[in-house]
Amino acid sequence: EVQLEESGGNMVRPGGSLRLSCAVSGFTFDDHGMSWVRQVPGKGLEWVCEINWNGGSTGYADSVKGRFTVSRDNGKKSLYLQMNSLRDEDTALYYCARNQLFGSGSDYWGQGTLVTVSS
Amino acid sequence: QSALTQPASVSGSPGQSITISCTGTTSDVGGYNQVSWYQLHPGKAPKLMIYDVTNRPSGVSNRFSGSKSDNTASLTISGLQAEDEADYYCSSYTSRSLRVFGTGTKVTVL
Protein backbone atom coordinates (compact mmCIF):
# COMPACT_ATOMS: atom_id res chain seq x y z
CA GLU A 1 0.00 0.00 0.00
CA VAL A 2 1.35 3.40 -0.98
CA GLN A 3 1.70 5.70 2.00
CA LEU A 4 3.05 9.22 2.43
CA GLU A 5 3.32 10.82 5.85
CA GLU A 6 4.29 14.43 6.37
CA SER A 7 5.79 15.74 9.59
CA GLY A 8 7.51 18.82 10.93
CA GLY A 9 4.65 21.29 10.85
CA ASN A 10 4.63 23.75 13.73
CA MET A 11 4.00 27.33 14.72
CA VAL A 12 6.87 29.66 13.90
CA ARG A 13 7.43 33.42 14.01
CA PRO A 14 7.74 35.49 10.81
CA GLY A 15 11.28 35.31 9.52
CA GLY A 16 11.82 31.92 11.07
CA SER A 17 12.64 28.56 9.49
CA LEU A 18 11.09 25.13 9.46
CA ARG A 19 11.92 21.81 7.82
CA LEU A 20 9.13 19.52 6.68
CA SER A 21 9.64 15.83 6.00
CA CYS A 22 7.65 13.30 4.04
CA ALA A 23 8.31 9.61 4.68
CA VAL A 24 7.03 7.24 2.02
CA SER A 25 6.45 3.50 1.76
CA GLY A 26 4.79 0.99 -0.52
CA PHE A 27 6.48 2.00 -3.76
CA THR A 28 9.91 2.46 -5.34
CA PHE A 29 10.63 6.00 -4.18
CA ASP A 30 13.45 6.73 -6.58
CA ASP A 31 11.26 5.98 -9.59
CA HIS A 32 9.10 9.03 -8.96
CA GLY A 33 9.26 12.77 -8.96
CA MET A 34 7.63 14.35 -5.92
CA SER A 35 5.76 17.56 -5.21
CA TRP A 36 4.81 19.81 -2.30
CA VAL A 37 1.41 21.48 -2.48
CA ARG A 38 -0.16 23.71 0.16
CA GLN A 39 -3.64 24.82 1.10
CA VAL A 40 -4.41 27.83 3.22
CA PRO A 41 -7.28 26.84 5.54
CA GLY A 42 -10.52 27.58 3.75
CA LYS A 43 -8.73 28.52 0.53
CA GLY A 44 -7.50 26.80 -2.60
CA LEU A 45 -4.57 24.58 -3.48
CA GLU A 46 -1.25 26.14 -4.39
CA TRP A 47 1.59 24.25 -6.03
CA VAL A 48 4.80 24.93 -4.10
CA CYS A 49 7.60 22.94 -5.72
CA GLU A 50 8.66 19.66 -7.18
CA ILE A 51 11.77 17.54 -7.53
CA ASN A 52 12.66 14.86 -10.04
CA TRP A 53 13.57 11.27 -9.19
CA ASN A 54 17.22 11.88 -8.31
CA GLY A 55 17.08 15.46 -7.08
CA GLY A 56 18.84 16.77 -10.16
CA SER A 57 15.96 18.98 -11.24
CA THR A 58 13.70 21.16 -9.13
CA GLY A 59 11.05 23.81 -9.74
CA TYR A 60 9.50 26.39 -7.43
CA ALA A 61 6.50 28.66 -7.40
CA ASP A 62 7.43 32.33 -7.61
CA SER A 63 5.94 32.87 -4.15
CA VAL A 64 8.55 30.64 -2.48
CA LYS A 65 11.53 30.78 -4.84
CA GLY A 66 14.70 31.74 -3.02
CA ARG A 67 13.18 30.95 0.38
CA PHE A 68 12.21 27.28 0.13
CA THR A 69 14.41 24.35 -0.89
CA VAL A 70 13.15 20.89 -1.79
CA SER A 71 15.41 17.87 -1.44
CA ARG A 72 15.18 14.11 -1.14
CA ASP A 73 17.10 11.17 0.32
CA ASN A 74 16.30 8.11 -1.76
CA GLY A 75 18.09 5.85 0.67
CA LYS A 76 15.80 7.01 3.47
CA LYS A 77 12.73 7.17 1.19
CA SER A 78 12.13 10.72 2.34
CA LEU A 79 11.29 14.07 0.84
CA TYR A 80 12.10 17.36 2.54
CA LEU A 81 11.10 21.00 2.35
CA GLN A 82 13.39 23.54 4.00
CA MET A 83 11.45 26.73 4.54
CA ASN A 84 13.34 29.92 5.42
CA SER A 85 12.30 33.54 5.84
CA LEU A 86 8.76 32.43 6.57
CA ARG A 87 5.92 34.91 6.11
CA ASP A 88 2.37 35.08 7.43
CA GLU A 89 1.12 34.05 4.00
CA ASP A 90 3.04 30.77 4.20
CA THR A 91 0.55 29.59 6.83
CA ALA A 92 -1.06 26.51 5.29
CA LEU A 93 -1.50 22.78 5.33
CA TYR A 94 1.43 21.33 3.40
CA TYR A 95 0.93 18.13 1.41
CA CYS A 96 3.55 15.96 -0.18
CA ALA A 97 2.47 14.11 -3.30
CA ARG A 98 3.85 11.45 -5.59
CA ASN A 99 4.08 12.40 -9.24
CA GLN A 100 2.89 9.83 -11.72
CA LEU A 101 5.42 7.72 -13.56
CA PHE A 102 3.49 8.04 -16.80
CA GLY A 103 1.30 11.09 -16.66
CA SER A 104 1.40 14.65 -15.43
CA GLY A 105 -0.66 14.26 -12.29
CA SER A 106 0.10 13.51 -8.65
CA ASP A 107 -1.51 10.21 -7.83
CA TYR A 108 -0.89 9.75 -4.11
CA TRP A 109 -0.98 12.36 -1.39
CA GLY A 110 -0.27 12.52 2.31
CA GLN A 111 -2.68 13.91 4.88
CA GLY A 112 -0.70 17.11 5.26
CA THR A 113 1.18 18.89 8.03
CA LEU A 114 0.12 22.31 9.33
CA VAL A 115 2.51 25.25 9.29
CA THR A 116 1.43 28.37 11.14
CA VAL A 117 3.46 31.55 10.81
CA SER A 118 2.42 34.05 13.43
CA SER A 119 3.94 36.56 15.80
CA GLN B 1 1.90 32.58 -12.40
CA SER B 2 -1.78 33.34 -12.03
CA ALA B 3 -4.22 30.67 -10.91
CA LEU B 4 -6.37 29.07 -13.57
CA THR B 5 -9.96 30.31 -13.53
CA GLN B 6 -12.75 28.01 -12.36
CA PRO B 7 -16.35 28.81 -11.41
CA ALA B 8 -16.73 29.15 -7.66
CA SER B 9 -19.63 26.74 -7.54
CA VAL B 10 -21.60 24.31 -9.67
CA SER B 11 -24.65 22.37 -8.60
CA GLY B 12 -26.87 19.66 -9.96
CA SER B 13 -29.49 17.12 -8.95
CA PRO B 14 -28.72 13.43 -8.52
CA GLY B 15 -28.46 11.73 -11.88
CA GLN B 16 -27.75 14.93 -13.79
CA SER B 17 -24.51 15.86 -15.53
CA ILE B 18 -22.45 18.88 -14.64
CA THR B 19 -19.36 20.42 -16.22
CA ILE B 20 -16.62 22.41 -14.50
CA SER B 21 -14.48 24.69 -16.64
CA CYS B 22 -10.83 25.59 -16.12
CA THR B 23 -9.57 28.52 -18.15
CA GLY B 24 -5.94 29.40 -18.61
CA THR B 25 -3.73 30.71 -21.39
CA THR B 26 -1.61 29.46 -24.23
CA SER B 27 1.24 29.27 -21.70
CA ASP B 28 -0.45 26.59 -19.65
CA VAL B 29 -3.78 24.87 -20.44
CA GLY B 30 -3.72 25.76 -24.12
CA GLY B 31 -0.10 24.89 -24.68
CA TYR B 32 0.13 21.44 -23.13
CA ASN B 33 -1.99 18.31 -22.75
CA GLN B 34 -0.97 18.14 -19.11
CA VAL B 35 -4.14 19.09 -17.26
CA SER B 36 -5.14 17.18 -14.15
CA TRP B 37 -8.22 17.30 -11.97
CA TYR B 38 -8.38 16.67 -8.21
CA GLN B 39 -11.27 16.02 -5.84
CA LEU B 40 -11.07 17.27 -2.26
CA HIS B 41 -13.40 16.14 0.48
CA PRO B 42 -13.10 18.02 3.80
CA GLY B 43 -10.41 16.57 5.99
CA LYS B 44 -9.18 14.15 3.35
CA ALA B 45 -6.21 14.12 1.03
CA PRO B 46 -6.73 15.27 -2.57
CA LYS B 47 -7.62 12.54 -5.04
CA LEU B 48 -6.48 12.50 -8.67
CA MET B 49 -9.52 12.12 -10.91
CA ILE B 50 -8.19 12.93 -14.39
CA TYR B 51 -4.69 13.33 -15.79
CA ASP B 52 -3.32 14.45 -19.13
CA VAL B 53 -6.68 16.06 -19.99
CA THR B 54 -8.70 12.90 -20.61
CA ASN B 55 -7.20 9.94 -18.73
CA ARG B 56 -8.74 8.35 -15.66
CA PRO B 57 -6.52 6.65 -13.07
CA SER B 58 -7.38 3.10 -12.16
CA GLY B 59 -10.28 3.02 -9.70
CA VAL B 60 -11.86 6.32 -10.69
CA SER B 61 -15.44 6.02 -11.84
CA ASN B 62 -16.09 6.36 -15.56
CA ARG B 63 -18.72 8.95 -14.64
CA PHE B 64 -15.80 11.39 -14.58
CA SER B 65 -14.43 12.58 -17.91
CA GLY B 66 -12.13 15.34 -19.10
CA SER B 67 -11.71 17.37 -22.24
CA LYS B 68 -10.00 20.47 -23.55
CA SER B 69 -10.67 23.12 -26.16
CA ASP B 70 -8.16 25.88 -26.78
CA ASN B 71 -7.29 27.43 -23.40
CA THR B 72 -10.15 25.83 -21.46
CA ALA B 73 -10.21 22.37 -19.93
CA SER B 74 -13.38 20.80 -18.59
CA LEU B 75 -14.35 18.11 -16.11
CA THR B 76 -17.74 16.48 -16.61
CA ILE B 77 -19.43 14.43 -13.93
CA SER B 78 -22.30 12.38 -15.29
CA GLY B 79 -24.93 10.59 -13.24
CA LEU B 80 -24.22 12.92 -10.32
CA GLN B 81 -24.21 11.20 -6.93
CA ALA B 82 -24.25 12.52 -3.37
CA GLU B 83 -20.67 11.32 -2.85
CA ASP B 84 -19.52 13.62 -5.67
CA GLU B 85 -20.19 16.65 -3.49
CA ALA B 86 -16.70 18.05 -2.93
CA ASP B 87 -14.26 20.71 -4.08
CA TYR B 88 -12.58 20.19 -7.44
CA TYR B 89 -9.33 21.73 -8.68
CA CYS B 90 -7.70 21.65 -12.07
CA SER B 91 -3.95 21.87 -12.52
CA SER B 92 -1.72 22.45 -15.53
CA TYR B 93 1.91 22.33 -16.52
CA THR B 94 3.20 25.73 -17.63
CA SER B 95 5.69 27.10 -20.11
CA ARG B 96 8.07 27.97 -17.25
CA SER B 97 8.26 24.28 -16.34
CA LEU B 98 6.09 24.96 -13.31
CA ARG B 99 2.62 23.93 -12.33
CA VAL B 100 -0.44 25.97 -11.46
CA PHE B 101 -3.75 25.08 -9.84
CA GLY B 102 -7.17 26.46 -10.57
CA THR B 103 -9.18 28.59 -8.17
CA GLY B 104 -11.34 25.63 -7.20
CA THR B 105 -15.02 24.75 -7.66
CA LYS B 106 -17.44 23.63 -5.00
CA VAL B 107 -19.82 21.01 -6.36
CA THR B 108 -23.16 20.76 -4.58
CA VAL B 109 -25.58 17.90 -5.11
CA LEU B 110 -29.07 19.29 -4.64
* Residues 33-92 in B contacting A (C-alpha not used; CB under 8 Å): 34-36, 38, 40, 45-48, 50-52, 55, 57, 89, 91
Res B10: pLDDT: 98
DSSP A85: S
Mean pLDDT by 10 residues, chain B (110 residues): 93 97 96 97 94 97 97 98 97 92 97
Partner-chain contact A45 B38, CB within 8 Å: yes
DSSP string, chain B: -PPBB--SEEEE-TT--EEEEEE--TTTTTT-S-EEEEEE-TTS--EEEEBTTTBPPTTS-TTEEEEEETTEEEEEE-S--GGG-EEEEEEEE-TTS-EEEB--EEEEE-
CA–CA gap between residue B35 and residue A24 (Å, rounded) = 25
How remote is the C-alpha of A5 from its chain's centroid? 11
A66: phi > 0 → left, psi -120 to 50 → alpha, else beta; which?
left
CA–CA gap between residue B82 and residue B85 (Å, rounded) = 6
Q: CA nearest B96 in A: which residue? A: A59
Res B84: pLDDT: 98
Q: Report which of A43, A66, A48 is spatially closest to residue A6, judged by C-alpha positions.
A: A48
Please give, rounded to a whole number of angstroms, the shortest distance from the CA of A118 to a CA of chain B. 23
Res A48: pLDDT: 97
Please give, rounded to a whole number of angstroms, the shortest distance from the CA of B81 to a CA of chain A. 23
Res A41: pLDDT: 87
Give every residue of chain A whose pLDDT is below 70, as ranges: none
